[in-house]
Amino acid sequence: MIDSECGELKQSITPEATVKLSMVVPVFNESETVSLFIDSVSSVFNNESSIELEIIFINDGSTDDTLPRLLELQSVDSRIKIVDLSRNFGKEAALTAGLKICTGHIVVPIDVDLQDPPQLIPEMIEKWREGYEVVLGRRTDRDSDSWAKRSSANWFYRVHNKMASSKIPENVGDFRLMDRCVVEALKELPESRRFMKGLFAWVGFKTTYIDYARPQRSAGTSKFNGWKLWNFALEGITSFSTDPLKIWTYLGLIFSSISFLLAIFIALKVIVYGIDVPGYASIMVAVTFLGGLQLIGIGILGEYLGRTYIESKRRPVFLVRQVYASKS
């Protein structure tokens, strides 16, 4: 069904036809950046007669004056649509809300901090017109990120892609252009705990890249810290791979084999040489080491069990408090 809709849509859009573009912009306490973002988008699209623009801001429970500032901008720009969530559900839920509400032929999730340049979108649209269904923005220069963030991101991509069957493209965030058929495929995925980078990779479709150097934030500060990024990485790995569970099976076999060989060695040593095995310190080391391994294994089991428990409740990914659509 999605394939046929995708084909029909592409056949109906000629190179000269007006294309509706939906920009999905999650915001959380970004009152300093929303005006700068709109100015940047306007400088790109105000003279684009072939693009009908829809800018969907998802206010993810902001506690500053982000919402009043967005309403003020909407009063002078009818392209802006505001989805106000009932509380802070997180960026993945906010992206999901935007993808469910957007109506464009093509959709671009983008951060409001301008580290993902809107100036690249026309080039993405040209790639889409060539027949690509997904156009990824790939970062070639991440000097705007700290060394710790760059290093941890590189390690995450390596570990995730070793374990998961659907590989996440390295140095690619949420910034991408997607055909309508890709968005419809994403909307069919039912999970509550959503790792969007993994879901984007899982649905596939014909994909290409546009490289860019990532600039500094235009204003404000990042809402992600080390702890959130660590939990985000765990979410990604456990969402798309069961290899962490398999690892503990192999560890159990390895340590069982070692303990069996050690038991034979000790028995022979006592039988042949009559030497008692001194043992308090070595026993304590072995007990605490193996106990720690067992607790880590239980923790990994708990991570998967917790995901199953949350998914079984079938709670909605987000709740909308109000949608503010332009009256003009």
35 residue type, one letter? S
pLDDT score recorded for residue 142: 62
What are the structural domain ranges in the chain?
A: 2-240+316-324, 243-313
Domain 2-240+316-324 has CATH 3.90.550.10: yes
**AA identity, residue 163:** M
The three-state (H, E, C) secondary structure of the chain, written as one string: CHHHHHHHHHHHCCCCCCEEEEEEEEECCCCCCHHHHHHHHHHHHCCCCCEEEEEEEEECCCCCCHHHHHHHHHCCCCCEEEEEECCCCCHHHHHHHHHHHCCCCEEEECCCCCCCCHHHHHHHHHHHHCCCCEEEEEEEECCCCCHHHHHHHHHHHHHHHHHCCCCCCCCEEEEEEEEHHHHHHHHCCCCCCCCHHHHHHHHCCCEEEEEEECCCCCCCCCCCCHHHHHHHHHHHHHHHCCHHHHHHHHHHHHHHHHHHHHHHHHHHHHHHHCCCCCCHHHHHHHHHHHHHHHHHHHHHHHHHHHHHHHHHHCCCCCCEEEEECCCC
Beta-carbon neighbour count of residue 167 at 10 Å?
Answer: 14
pLDDT for residue 254: 75
Q: Measured on CA atoms in the order 34, 39, 43, 47, is the torsion positive or negative? A: positive
* Tens of each residue's pLDDT in the chain, 328 residues: 455 456 555 555 555 677 888 999 998 888 888 888 888 888 888 877 788 888 999 998 888 888 888 988 888 888 889 899 988 888 888 888 888 888 888 899 998 888 888 888 888 888 888 888 889 888 877 665 665 566 666 666 676 666 666 677 777 888 889 888 888 888 888 887 787 887 888 888 888 888 888 776 655 555 555 556 666 666 656 666 666 777 777 777 777 677 767 767 767 776 777 666 566 556 766 776 777 777 777 777 777 777 777 777 787 888 888 888 876 5
Q: What pLDDT, on a 0 to 100 scale, did the predictor assign at position 1?
A: 46
Q: How far is the C-alpha of 88 from the C-alpha of 71, rounded, in Å? A: 19
**CB 223 within 8 Å of CB 28:** yes
This model's pTM is above 0.95: no
